[in-house]
With several copies, the nearest count.
Chain A
């Protein structure tokens, strides 16, 4: 979590330099979900994600250097610069891809699970999406098919109560999202997405259930996005959420909670944590250096690979 947070804080800081010239959606405040869920996955499990993908990518083990390079549009980026922040991929860790059409990758995750079934692989696949995603018909179609064939897929809905600046209550009736998944025949779970232990426990049970042939599982996790929908800044001045809401939301910081627990349990000392943070910061600095010293592609690099051989 700390690593994701520090990476995104660094991104936010550097964004103003106008060298990362692409839309960027930070997950600061929502890190516990990526981390808690991905901690229950093996390398061969497959992940698909959406526009807010940094956390998912890093938690699955995606290469930090190549992610930063991608944001800078360099040749060493994970898509060679073709994708930017909203199109991440790392085949080495089976992070198969994130794309920004809301709901668009959810059926792909189901398809990956179907492929695993057909090929007899014991791998599961995961779709990360937001509370807005469930409004897309395609997500319902995906749940229906997954439940029908009891496919090994985990749906993870990160409910941060907003789609851009529109609160949930202006988009959906007052009904829990996870109940919808139940109506589709999925086993569903829900909990506090700002508590990494809760997330981990739920995800572990859910992935275990999938491995035990209990069919697809759906997890709804409540969380809070700290910064603006798209871009590096806070956006309190827009007034689409009250100061009070923001304070409460940020008070539920998953990192603070986890740090407190760690210190209380004594698993790591303050010093150790600081050391960890220093290491992370060094890694991040190196990643930025890697990105900025990477080759700059030109238009000719954009021309090929439209069709596969």
Chain B
């Protein structure tokens, strides 16, 4: 539910900053830690001003020790602190898999519920401007496979704020995945603190022709397509999954019962991705409602190349979603309508930047 308090537009990055600020104001146990958290760039602005407001004790830089520092945060979380840890790239979190999977995910379970690990790890997914093989991975599937972790990926500034506050207040380890290309997108964001559920998908565009369930940044691409179709009276349903674990199968299933068709869009590799899990569950639970096999819009079977020339075609976008909708829903558009939609959804920026203001280098 959207909060009813005063609202104004904020970028996704500003919304994160505000969430951190309000969570820290509400609870002195909340601390923010990560490489560069208090530095002049403030993690793309998301931690700006926090050190000034809350002091060096609670707004922390850290050594380049991802596994160790994750363990430190887990230990602190066991002792009444609520750390928010930040990795400028999700790729770096691979160094911390042991602590995340062996300790954070299992502590509550293996000690029979005696203790919990209220830890949030912000993981930024890189893309574009030469973010290459080691700086642009989308690893949500790795974490979503592990029981005990929550893995969320808000797509809007509204959700970024509400879900980050909810994640910080949650008593479990929550991996908060931020796609770099969402950081500068605006949305209406209430001024006051509010919480958005971590386990509910949301219909962001209602429709009945086909269901598109998308994760993180892919929600934006899907939304463009749905809006462009809408002008022609074609109603595509877009569901923002919001969370990769738990996965809100029910919301998607209800939609599929209506549309009979499902496309799942993700920022990660298709093979072994959360797209496969969602499709499998829909097949398991809604087989008879499916008119055609569900399909995936996701990354191909290779790492990201650095050169923008090479990368031009690597990331699926609104056009791919459009074509897939036409195919699966058997939509025959007139030449004009087709041209109009393609015009509406076609990217105006160079393909390797989120917007024209972005001029590198990181």
Contacts and interface: CB of A to CB of B under 8 A. Distances in A.
Interface of A: 15, 18, 21-24, 46, 48, 73-74, 77, 79-87, 89, 91, 96-97, 99-116, 118-119, 125, 132-133, 135-142, 144-145, 148, 163-166, 170-172, 230-232, 238-240, 296-309
B362 A231 contact: yes
A145 B130 contact: no
A166 B41 CA distance: 11
Given A138-B65, A145-B69, 18 more contacts: A21-B360, A22-B307, A24-B361, A73-B307, A74-B307, A82-B305, A84-B130, A96-B78, A110-B72, A111-B77, A136-B66, A137-B67, A138-B98, A171-B62, A230-B362, A231-B360, A232-B361, A301-B310
B92 interface: yes
25 contacts: A18-B359, A21-B308, A22-B361, A46-B79, A48-B75, A74-B307, A79-B306, A81-B305, A87-B110, A107-B71, A107-B74, A108-B72, A111-B72, A111-B79, A112-B75, A114-B72, A118-B58, A135-B63, A238-B41, A240-B40, A297-B307, A298-B310, A298-B313, A299-B310, A305-B112
Contacts of A299: 310-314
A260 B171 CA distance: 51
Contact of A101 (B68, B114, B134, B306): B134
Interface string B347-360: 00000100000011
B68 A82 contact: no
A83 B99 contact: no
Contacts of B313: 298-300, 302
A108 B75 contact: yes
A115 B103 CA distance: 18
Interface string B55-89: 00110011111111111111111111100000000
Nearest to A108: B75
Q: Which bracket fits the contact residues of B? A: 35 or more
A104 B71 contact: yes
Contacts of B114: 79, 89, 91
Chain B interface, DSSP helix/strand/loop, else mixed: loop
Contacts of A165: 36, 39-41
A137 B150 CA distance: 27
**B111, B130, B135, B310, most chain A CB atoms within 10 A:** B310
Contact of A107 (B80, B99, B171): B99
Contacts, number: 290
B35 interface: yes
B81 A118 contact: yes
Contacts of B360: 15, 18, 21-23, 231
A153 B81 CA distance: 17
A81 B311 CA distance: 10
Given A81-B306, A114-B75, A163-B35, A89 B111 contact: yes
B76 A118 contact: yes
A307 B111 contact: no
B132 interface: yes
B31 interface: yes
A85 B40 CA distance: 24
B129 A22 contact: yes
B63 A22 contact: no
B111 A79 contact: yes
Nearest to B116: A308
Contacts of A145: 62-63, 65, 68-69, 72
Contacts of B311: 299, 302
B272 interface: no
Contacts of A106: 71
Given A24-B361, A306-B109, A104 B102 contact: yes
B150 to A, nearest CB: 7
Nearest to A143: B68
Contacts of A46: 79
A183 B331 CA distance: 69
A142 B72 contact: yes
B332 interface: no
Given A230-B361, A307-B148, A111 B307 contact: no
B289 interface: no
Contact of B171 (A91, A137, A308): A308
A238 B42 CA distance: 11
A104 B99 contact: yes
B72 A107 contact: yes
B246 to A, nearest CB: 9
A108 B103 contact: yes
A307 B108 contact: yes
Given A104-B71, A305-B109, A21 B130 contact: yes
Contacts of B61: 166, 170-171
B310 A111 contact: no
Nearest to B149: A307
A99 B103 contact: yes
Contacts of B72: 107-108, 110-111, 114, 142, 145
A82 B64 contact: no
Contacts of B77: 111
B293 interface: no
Contacts of A137: 65, 67-68
